Amino acid sequence: MFHKEGYKIIVITLVLVIGGVLAIDWFLTIEWLKLALSVTLLVFLILILQFFRNPKRLTKLEDHTAVSPVDGKVVVIEEVFEKEVFNDKRIQVSVFMSPINVHVTRYPISGKVSYSKYHPGKYLVAWHPKASEENERTTVVVDNKNFGQILYRQIAGALAKRIVNYAKVNDDAVQGSDSGFIKFGSRVDLFLPLDADIKVTLNQKVRGGESIIAEKL
């Protein structure tokens, strides 16, 4: 199953790969070179298909847990001052996605979307300390009866050139459901209340919609 954001790119890539393989077979006579170039094109197609895959996830809907919005590795767990929306201290948990991770963004919690904003910006590497404030990004806040307000931020990386955000103010967010997509390498920051019980550790690998990031009873 592939994400809808990849349909156009997949079709274009498929046409180019088929055309390239036919051209290689028609114009080249050196067998080893034909094989090497054809295999390279096929590997490229497989990478594109892998990037836009959209596997189903079994999210256990719970208001007292916040799940990871994306697949990847936890690279930041720290207390920070969040100044775009809250203007107070929060616990930031950041998940870095490599190009081979699933890049679907999912709602970490159920509730009502109260804030959604796109910010143009730079394309620093996703793990850069200033990426959260200076890179192209979107910020979404979901109001939940247990956690209060949870903020998550999609951040473009050095390779990511397009962020897709489906969340709109007053939308009903359903935990684990599709809320966007980031193309080609990126990061998502999650800002939680200080009294949230963090359930992940640095460098832990997490799965979007399934891995529990925090609890708040």
For 66, the token pair is 């916040």
- Give the residue from 5, 107, 106, 95 showing the smallest Cα distance to 51: 5
What is the DSSP code (8-state) at residue 103? -
Q: Give the CA count within 13 Å in the CB-facing half-sphere of 52.
A: 16
| DSSP assigned state of 203 | T
Burial (Cβ within 10 Å: 0-12, 13-18, ≥19) of residue 8:
exposed
Alpha carbons 87 and 143: distance in angstroms, whole number: 16
Catalytic positions: 186
59: helix, coil or strand?
coil
